[in-house]
């Protein structure tokens, strides 16, 4: 057995060495901090790299399974955590490109490699010999003298096997394999369809009179888009920097409706990119998997490893916030309707009217709009401000290093250093929309953090946004919402960059889904603080600091439409839970199911031919199934946590040190409530959120 083991490992390592000669993904990365050599990587390298890295991962698992020594925490649990690093590196590069720089060819590769990765994971979790080893160590957990992080790793390892089918019969294991493989394919397809639909729509206008109301910046960007495509006039698309200004400022109601319908009917047109059947298949497969594992529905399965614990915990949060929000939302709608009527509007205000008239009312009430603020939020200055906040709070610094290869020339690579000059992380910043980039904004990592053999392997983190582009006459000027988005994703990045765990699976953002948004959402709180804004928000032409009066208008308007915005998020939470609390497969109308699921949150009439579920990538192409409530859950946490900074000082070093040490560095090393209470001194209260939102 020992000789076979050695021979298998040698064979795999020789294969890796041979392939590495022709494939940059398989060799050592001779780049700063061993970052991905994007300048050398080609699409044809990915499938061979996945094939080889899977084989290496299998060989590493083989050594654990066939170790003749009695199972111990080190030779089983830790050894498992340290397997698959080459595969993780390859997947990290590939799937980040799939989100930020995709192509038809990459999408085809994803469909091929996704089942390969699912099989690899299933081969681990469904291996009976390996599970017996893990179970043997777990049975001794109270006698092993483990520290808190080691206890968490052991608990997670054991529960992951259970939750991935280790206790199933052989027939059931085969069914689990089929379900998980099909789910991986369907989730990819769902996301691809949404991106295709986003890219397939353009509103091309050649008559400028139809664009009355739109600010110069939006017109200039649309003209640049048309020029790029060798067309006359103006082109608007469904990316946020184009879509939102159109919906807020365009006087032409018919065109606003056209844009609204295009955006909200994505993947719901009955064409080749329609996602309705994918929604049904994904939810049915998730339900089947949950029942196979002994749960009533998928929500019960997912929530077992969440702070909310169960459905009751989720619905209590949603229902409590609903009670505080719904009447306020209705009153806000009535106020906007009354304002619209006074300004010549007739009939009932519709969703494609909402952004336009609510924005006009905001200007009337607070004398504030995006165009007034954008000159003070030039992208480079905002970068300085956001990075400067991290320097002030945590002592870390950011230096651009253009020797680090990037996957697109627009990406800015930074080296991040700690107070003592020690290297902490690489940070890639990718700010503007492109056809190959998914919509929205996110943080991820190309490489995680872990410690091994006395060395601290530091992370490579990426933040990806879709911000307003510079034009021929103006630099990139951000809306206030974009500033908040930047701070949100940067908070996630801090969670990754400051990671200080021993084990990769517990490091950085590898935490409970309803805890992961705390580090991101707390950062948004500084965006309305004058003391912070004064540090970077200067007029891009005059250099004048943002006036105190304008900052006060931001503060005064902070809770504008708080009820509506809360209800909107709650509607998504209710919809998510409706799909994932079903205990029988769904075969009816996706549209009708959706309307029933969030009926009590609706303040607008139902609109035909639009459907959120068909484009709800958080649920069906991401990791938020039975977890969308976590944004509101984390709002409770972030409001409560930020109240400590408000009490003791926005830049208080001791509070920041505690937040870094107990939250940002710890990752998933301990239960999140334990970590939170260590920082806060008590469990979180909803009071701070209700006060901040004006909902109490």
Q: What is the DSSP string of 140-201?
A: TGGGS---HHHHHHHHHHHHHHHHTTTTS-HHHHHHHHHHHHHHHHHHHHHHHHHHHHHHH-
Q: What share of the chain is helix, strand, coil (3-state, %, to 5)?
A: 60, 5, 35
Token pair recorded at residue 593? 């199911």
Distance of alpha carbon 126 from alpha carbon 131, whole angstroms = 8
| pLDDT above 50 for 1 | no
- pLDDT-derived band of residue 590, with 50, 70 and 90 as boundaries? very high
| pLDDT above 80 for 12 | no
- pLDDT-derived band of residue 693, with 50, 70 and 90 as boundaries? confident
Distance of alpha carbon 436 from alpha carbon 112, whole angstroms = 19
Which overall architecture, per CATH, does domain 374-561+631-693 show? Orthogonal Bundle (1.10)
The burial of 421, by beta-carbon neighbours within 10 Å (0-12 exposed, 13-18 middle, 19 or more buried), is given as exposed
**What does the pLDDT read at residue 692?**
86
Q: Output the average pLDDT for the chain.
A: 95
**What does the pLDDT read at residue 651?**
97
Confidence (pTM): 0.93
- pLDDT-derived band of residue 687, with 50, 70 and 90 as boundaries? confident
- In this structure, what is the dihedral angle of CA atoms 428, 431, 433, 437, given to the nearest 10 degrees? 20
Check residues 212 and 16 and name the one with the higher pLDDT: 212
Catalytic residues: 489
Give me Rg for the CA atoms of the chain: 26
Distance of alpha carbon 558 from alpha carbon 17, whole angstroms = 57
- pLDDT-derived band of residue 686, with 50, 70 and 90 as boundaries? confident
Report pLDDT digits (tens) over 114-137.
999 999 999 999 999 999 999 999
| Mean pLDDT for the stretch of residues 263-282 | 98
Report pLDDT digits (tens) over 15-55.
544 555 689 999 999 999 999 999 999 999 999 999 999 99
Report pLDDT digits (tens) over 327-346.
999 999 999 999 999 999 99
Report pLDDT digits (tens) over 617-633.
999 999 999 999 999 99
**What does the pLDDT read at residue 19?**
54
| Torsion sign across C-alpha atoms 643, 648, 649, 650 | negative
Check residues 318 and 10 and name the one with the higher pLDDT: 318
Pairing of strands 460-464, 423-430: parallel
Contact criterion met (CB below 8 Å) for 66 and 59: no
- pLDDT-derived band of residue 2, with 50, 70 and 90 as boundaries? very low
| pLDDT above 80 for 604 | yes
- pLDDT-derived band of residue 580, with 50, 70 and 90 as boundaries? very high
Element (H, E) at 444: strand 442-447
Residue 539: count of CB within 10 angstroms of its CB: 15
- Residue 236 dihedral angles phi and psi, to the nearest 5°: -115, 145
**What does the pLDDT read at residue 165?**
97
Q: For the chain, give every domain's residue range.
A: 2-125+127-163, 201-264, 374-561+631-693
Q: Domain spanning 2-125+127-163 has what CATH number? A: 1.10.1370.40
Contact criterion met (CB below 8 Å) for 259 and 247: yes
Q: Where are the beta strands (DSSP E) in 448-536?
A: 450-452, 455-457, 460-464
Instruction: Indicate the length of the chain as a whole number.
Output: 696
Contact criterion met (CB below 8 Å) for 570 and 689: no
How would you label 300-323 residue by residue, b for 16+ Cβ within 10 Å and e otherwise? bbbbeebbbeebebbbebbeebbe
Contact criterion met (CB below 8 Å) for 461 and 497: yes
Residues paired with residue 416 on neighbouring β-strands, in sequence order: 398, 425
């Amino acid at each position: 057995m020992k000789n076979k083991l050695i021979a298998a490992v040698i064979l795999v390592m020789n294969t890796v060495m041979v392939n590495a000669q022709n494939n940059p993904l398989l060799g050592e990365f001779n780049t700063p901090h061993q970052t991905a050599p994007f300048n050398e990587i080609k699409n044809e390298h990915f499938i061979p790299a996945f094939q080889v890295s899977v084989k290496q991962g299998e060989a590493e698992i083989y050594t654990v399974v066939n170790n003749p020594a009695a199972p111990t925490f080190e030779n089983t649990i830790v050894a498992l955590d340290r397997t698959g690093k080459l595969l993780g590196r390859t997947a990290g590069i590939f799937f980040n490109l799939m989100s930020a720089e995709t192509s038809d060819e990459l999408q085809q590769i994803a469909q091929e490699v996704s089942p390969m990765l699912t099989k690899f994971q299933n081969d681990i979790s469904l291996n009976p010999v390996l599970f017996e080893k893990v179970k043997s160590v777990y049975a001794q957990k109270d006698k092993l003298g483990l520290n808190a992080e080691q206890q968490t790793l052991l608990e997670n390892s054991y529960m992951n096997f259970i939750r991935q089918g280790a206790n199933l019969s052989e027939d059931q294991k085969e069914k689990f394999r089929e379900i998980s493989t099909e789910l991986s394919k369907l989730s990819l397809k769902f996301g691809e369809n949404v991106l295709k639909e986003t890219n397939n729509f353009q509103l091309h206008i050649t008559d400028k009179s139809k664009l009355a109301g739109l600010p110069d910046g939006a017109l200039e960007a649309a003209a640049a888009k048309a020029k790029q495509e060798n067309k006359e006039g103006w082109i608007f698309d469904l990316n946020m920097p184009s879509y939102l200004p159109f919906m807020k400022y365009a006087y032409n109601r018919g065109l606003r409706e056209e844009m609204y319908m295009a955006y909200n009917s994505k993947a719901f047109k009955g064409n080749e990119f329609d996602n309705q059947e994918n929604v049904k298949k994904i939810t049915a497969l998730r339900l089947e998997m949950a029942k196979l594992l002994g749960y009533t529905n998928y929500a019960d399965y997912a929530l077992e490893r969440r702070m909310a614990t169960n459905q009751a915990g989720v619905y209590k949060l949603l229902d409590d916030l609903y009670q505080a929000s719904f009447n306020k939302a209705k009153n806000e709608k009535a106020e906007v309707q009354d304002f619209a009527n006074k300004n010549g509007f007739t009939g009932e205000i519709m969703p494609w009217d909402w952004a336009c008239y609510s924005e006009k009312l905001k200007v009337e009430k607070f004398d504030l709009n995006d165009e007034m603020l954008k000159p003070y939020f030039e992208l480079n200055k905002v970068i300085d401000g956001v990075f400067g906040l991290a320097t002030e709070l945590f002592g870390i610094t950011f230096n651009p290093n253009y020797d680090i290869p990037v996957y697109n020339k627009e990406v800015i690579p930074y080296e991040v250093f700690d107070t003592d000059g020690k290297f902490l992380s690489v940070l890639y910043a990718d700010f503007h929309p492109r056809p190959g980039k998914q919509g929205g904004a996110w943080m991820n990592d190309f490489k995680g953090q872990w410690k091994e053999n006395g060395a601290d392997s530091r992370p490579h983190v990426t933040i990806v946004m879709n911000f307003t582009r510079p034009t021929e006459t103006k630099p990139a000027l951000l809306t206030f919402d974009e500033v908040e988005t930047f701070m949100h994703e940067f908070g996630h990045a801090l969670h990754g960059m400051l990671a200080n765990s021993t084990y990769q699976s517990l490091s950085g953002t590898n935490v409970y889904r309803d805890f992961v948004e705390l580090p991101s959402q707390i950062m948004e709180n500084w965006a309305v603080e004058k003391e912070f804004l004064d540090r970077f928000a200067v007029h891009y032409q005059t250099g004048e600091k943002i006036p105190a009066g304008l900052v006060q208008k931001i503060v005064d308007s902070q809770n504008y439409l708080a009820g509506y915005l809360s209800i909107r998020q709650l509607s998504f939470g209710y919809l998510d839970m409706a799909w994932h609390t079903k205990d029988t497969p769904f075969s009816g109308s996706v549209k009708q199911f959706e309307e029933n699921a969030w009926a009590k949150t609706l303040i607008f009439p139902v609109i035909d031919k639009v459907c959120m579920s068909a484009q709800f990538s958080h649920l069906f192409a991401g990791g938020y199934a039975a977890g969308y409530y976590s944004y509101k859950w984390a709002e409770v946490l972030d409001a409560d946590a930020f109240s400590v900074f408000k009490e003791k000082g926005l830049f208080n070093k001791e509070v920041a040190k505690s937040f870094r040490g107990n939250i940002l560095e710890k990752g998933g090393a301990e239960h999140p409530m334990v970590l939170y209470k260590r920082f806060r001194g008590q469990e979180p209260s909803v009071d701070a959120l209700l006060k901040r939102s004006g909902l109490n």
